[in-house]
């Protein structure tokens, strides 16, 4: 795929999206954001790709939205529409049925930090910095800086990050469960490859299910989350060969509908007028 503001590559079932505006510290212009969505959609549609890695060109991951473009966003309604557009971008990343990795070097602030929070894994260099400085521009985050952050590090710390606007070390991001791992400045790519090697060895269907139930379960009550776990266990058994349940149709109901056979006629005959008065 050809892009002007990012570099898209595929290698060994891994897609790499490199934000490519190094002169602007990979700030998220409107054009770059649209290209990210297009690239993520392409990854989602692929049955061959299993992993997605986000990187930044130069010595920075991403410094967030391109503030110089904000006057182009329009009136209050159009600003809200743009924020929802970016929320869709983050949701698409989070909802991918691929495992996602953010490889962070340098600054990951504002929208750049919001991208990392939508990924499954975050590996960062020791020199990396992060924060949500929107408060000092007189704006508020629009696609994860308050919502996902509160779920990851808690309400009180999310207030500290957003209300003060300070920039913090990568070490603190790991300590606060915002990121996974810090590596020496020259070892980022190597550590990503090591993680990919481990992930490639796994049952890919199992990882897809785990990602789904963890993402869904954290947003609901315990019993509902346990329901996802139980259904996932059943699906794991089915795709591992133990799919035949003695009192299940095993496809006969669907086949019967198409053929309008005796099973279909019996069931509908008993049900269609039952207790309808």
How far apart (Å, rounded) are the C-alpha atoms in residues 207 and 209?
Answer: 5
The enclosing H or E element of 210 equals helix 204-217
The answer to whether 31 touches 5, Cβ cutoff 8 Å, is: yes
Q: 126, 134, 175, 193: which one is catalytic?
A: 134
As a whole number of angstroms, the distance between CA 62 and CA 19 comes to: 8
Name the catalytic one among 9, 35, 69, 114: 114
The tokens for 194 are: 């090591």
Indicate the pairing of strand 107-109 with strand 129-131: parallel
Both structure tokens of 162:
């957003």
Distances (CA, A) of 31 to 34, 36, 66, 137, 214: 5, 9, 10, 22, 32
Active site residue 114: yes
Residue 134 among the catalytic residues: yes
For residue 105, what are the contacts with CB-CB under 8 A and spacing of at least 6? 55, 56, 59, 60, 61, 124, 125, 127, 128, 185, 188
Give the 3-state secondary structure of residue 15.
strand
Q: How far apart are CA 121 and CA 191, in angstroms?
A: 12
Catalytic residues: 114, 134
């Amino acid at each position: 795929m050809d892009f002007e503001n990012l570099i898209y590559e595929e290698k060994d079932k891994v897609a790499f999206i490199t934000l490519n505006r190094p002169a602007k510290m990979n700030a998220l212009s409107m054009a770059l954001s649209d290209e990210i969505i297009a690239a993520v959609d392409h990854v989602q549609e692929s049955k061959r790709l299993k992993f997605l890695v986000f990187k930044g060109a130069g010595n920075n991951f991403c410094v967030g939205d391109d503030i110089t473009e904000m006057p182009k966003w329009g009136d209050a309604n159009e600003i809200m529409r743009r924020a929802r557009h970016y929320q869709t971008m983050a949701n698409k990343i989070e909802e991918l049925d691929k495992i996602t990795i953010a490889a962070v070097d340098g600054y990951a602030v504002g929208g750049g930090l919001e991208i990392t929070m939508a990924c499954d894994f975050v590996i960062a260099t020791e020199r990396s910095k992060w924060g949500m400085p929107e408060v000092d521009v007189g704006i508020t985050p629009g696609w994860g800086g308050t919502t996902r952050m509160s779920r990851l590090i808690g309400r009180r710390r999310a207030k500290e990050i957003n209300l003060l606007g300070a920039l913090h070390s990568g070490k603190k991001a790991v300590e606060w469960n915002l990121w996974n791992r810090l590596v020496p400045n020259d070892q980022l790519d190597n550590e990503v490859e090591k993680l990919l090697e481990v992930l490639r060895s796994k049952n890919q269907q199992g990882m897809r299910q785990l990602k789904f139930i963890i993402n869904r379960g954290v947003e609901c009550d315990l019993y509902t989350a346990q329901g996802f776990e139980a259904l996932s266990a059943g699906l794991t058994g089915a795709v591992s060969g133990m799919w035949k349940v003695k009192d299940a149709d095993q496809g006969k109901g669907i086949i019967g509908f198409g053929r309008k056979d005796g099973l279909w006629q019996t069931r509908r005959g008993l049900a269609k007028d039952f207790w309808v008065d």
